[in-house]
Structure 1
Amino acid sequence: MTEVARLDYAVNALGYSAALGRLVGLTAKGHHWWKNPSHVVLIDTKGVVNDLGPVDAHWFRTDDVSAGAVVGTTFYVRDGARLHAIDIDPKSASYLKIVRTVVLDWPALALDDFTSVNGKLTGVSAAGWGPGEVVSFDPVSGRVLSKAEIPALPGKSTYGSVVIDSAGTVYATNNGYHGRSRVYRIAGGVAVELSQGPQMNMIDGAGCLPTPMPPRVEPPAPRPEVPPPPPPPAPPAPKPTTPAPAPVAPPPPVPTTTSPSVPPQPVPVKAARQRPEPRKDLPLEAETTPLTKPRKWAMVTIILVMLGAGAAAARARG
């Protein structure tokens, strides 16, 4: 083992980016924990670090991040039981943003490191009481695609560094087994211990860097902050409206009593009042009756005699 450089801060979740030709990792070095503490960094073969900037997610922290790998221009990191996909393409509109998060199946959520193999991620799990097992899963869905127990791999410990070569051979480093850190080669379902050394608290691994190195990748210029649009003007206060007069109900119809049909009576026509004629004295005509004047006087005498007799009788009674 050869020391290339010594950093004054921790870098975790290391992965190798063939597109950028460098190691990719996360660090909280020199950044306030309450504001974008997780920065994406690139590391070359001499240990020179290029800080690309913070992950564009204010809630994202590196406290629980324990594994990382790169597929194309997507940087995958395990954060507890979740897998975050960070866009590291400098030409992308979603650069340094978390574009997807999925929940990992068991036992993928127990992997402390994984590496990219043909678009899938592969690591070594030592969860449970049995031996360690090689686990492959889909980074898009988080579903486990395959797992195989390897009898010679010790369990009850974590494997903090996992890499794979072009032939498909897996090299995994156990953080601490019987007080020692041990490197295993796994091929054809068989594990062989290659070396061991003092137990280390933190181990991470990534693919081999190319020689010579590709040109250094500079982060894009920060986008100018666009001030938020002014709030829309408040709508004018509604004008007071005079309440419309209540509608007046029409008067109820006058009930009409119907009587049995009576034929109309003819209206009597009054005769026109005639103008009175002046009175005319009728001419006296000569008496034509057989009663003579001497006879009339005789009748008067009889009436007078009768009246006188009546009066005398009345005095006699009195």
Structure 2
Amino acid sequence: MTELARLDYAVNALGYSSALGRLVGLTSKGHHWWKNPSHVVLIDTKGVVSDLGPVDAHWFRTDDVSAGAVVGTTFYVRDNARLHAIDIDPASASYLKIVRTVVLDWPALTLDDFAVDPATGKLTGVSAAGGGPGEVVTFDPVSGRLLSRTEVAELPGKSTYGAVVIDSAGTVYATNNGYHGRSRIYRVSGTAVELTAGPQLGMIDAAGCLPNPMPPRIDPPAPRPEVPPPPPPPAPAPTPAPVAAPVAARVPSPVVPPPPVTTPPPSSVAPQPVPVRAARQKTEPRKDLPLDAETTPLTKSRKWAMVTIILVMLGAGAAAARARG
């Protein structure tokens, strides 16, 4: 046995709710008996208790409640000879109300604990109210009617079985509160086998075979702010049909650099000045017809006269040129 937590108050009629993933029980600690004293609580495997609130029935108290089990979303508790059905569905209009009460047959009304048979949904416990050995008792939680009772020789009588669970195979495990000064656990499947014993306990309870590990309790995250979706991307523009281009247009022509300008080296010969006036044309000598040899003195005098005229003309031309310059 491993101690998980210690509570400051008693919790009775424990059952296990697979829908809520927690143990379910009743307590009146801290509540006034005349103002809905019985509260339904949830307990996890670490001993953390969540108070769901009071049972909606002013007359209901936990003084005589001694057994409990959960079938679906209904919490069944035995109050003396009566069986109360409490709705623990948070979505129901009858949440935490007693929706049904039935009277139990003998010896179901003596059971100090019962468990749900997973195969049938019926409730089963162990009674030791008779004079002989203990009996395995099964009843219908809806009507309270007895379905079967089987005496098991190996189960001690004249004692109480305060904790009963049933596994998935239908095997019953029952704990006797005190037999010969010891609390004893039995496995019952046709016959009973004692599994272990320990110090005698005054008050015990059981709540079914819990899953291992128990599902964690996680608060739902806060809703995220609504973020508008991004706008859809614009439709791509239609691609024009490719146009065949001449090869010369696709291949760039090589750029031919202009030929370098070669400056001729300066000549060592000084350039001749250009004459302002063009040179006169060279006078060709006049070609006279051949004459016969001069035979008279008149002919010589004519020659000298001609020479004199030419010289006079040349002198006048030179003087005119000097005047113009």
Task: Please name the residue that 2:77 is paired with.
Answer: 77
Deviation for aligned residue 1:149: 0.3
Give 3-state SS (helix, strand or coil) of 1:68's partner: strand
Separation of aligned partners in 2, 1:63 and 1:98: 17
Deviation for aligned residue 1:100: 0.2
Note the alpha carbon deviations across 1:151-189, whole angstroms, 9 max, x for none.
Answer: 0000000000000101111100001111111100001x2
Task: Please name the residue that 1:157 is paired with.
Answer: 159
1:1-318 alignment, distance < 5 Å: 1-117=1-117, 118-187=120-189, 189-210=190-211, 211-215=213-217
Separation of aligned partners in 2, 1:91 and 1:75: 15
Instruction: Give the TM-score taking structure 1 as reference length.
Output: 0.67
Unaligned runs of 5+ in 2: 221-325
Give 3-state SS (helix, strand or coil) of 1:5's partner: coil
What is the identity percentage for the equivalent residue pairs of Structure 1 and Structure 2? 83
Q: 1:54 to 1:123 in 2, by over 3 A?
A: same
Tell me if structure 2 keeps the 8 A contact 1:20–1:217.
Answer: no
Q: 1:212 to 1:116 in 2, by over 3 A?
A: closer
Separation of aligned partners in 1, 2:107 and 2:91: 35
- RMSD (Å) for aligned C-alpha atoms: 1.3
Give 3-state SS (helix, strand or coil) of 2:109's partner: helix
Tell me if structure 1 keeps the 8 A contact 2:16–2:23.
Answer: yes
Give 3-state SS (helix, strand or coil) of 1:96's partner: coil
Deviation for aligned residue 1:208: 3.0
Tell me if structure 1 keeps the 8 A contact 2:75–2:85.
Answer: yes
Note the alpha carbon deviations across 1:89-123, whole angstroms, 9 max, x for none.
Answer: 00000000000000000000000000011210000
Give the AA of the match of 1:197: G
Deviation for aligned residue 1:209: 2.8
Separation of aligned partners in 2, 1:47 and 1:217: 18
Give the AA of the match of 1:175: N
Deviation for aligned residue 1:212: 4.6
Unaligned runs of 5+ in 1: 219-318
Give the AA of the match of 1:96: L
Tell me if structure 1 keeps the 8 A contact 2:45–2:214.
Answer: no
4+ residue runs over 3 A deviation: 214-218
Separation of aligned partners in 2, 1:7 and 1:208: 21
Separation of aligned partners in 2, 1:33 and 1:157: 30
Larger radius of gyration: 2
Deviation for aligned residue 1:215: 3.2
Q: 1:216 to 1:53 in 2, by over 3 A?
A: farther
Deviation for aligned residue 1:45: 1.0
Note the alpha carbon deviations across 1:6-34, whole angstroms, 9 max, x for none.
Answer: 00100000000011111000001111122
Deviation for aligned residue 1:217: 8.3
Separation of aligned partners in 2, 1:105 and 1:173: 23
Separation of aligned partners in 2, 1:129 and 1:156: 7
Instruction: Give the TM-score taking structure 2 as reference length.
Output: 0.65
Tell me if structure 1 keeps the 8 A contact 2:166–2:209.
Answer: no
Tell me if structure 1 keeps the 8 A contact 2:21–2:214.
Answer: no
Tell me if structure 2 keeps the 8 A contact 1:160–1:204.
Answer: yes
Number of residue equivalences: 217
Tell me if structure 2 keeps the 8 A contact 1:45–1:209.
Answer: no
Give the AA of the match of 2:7: L
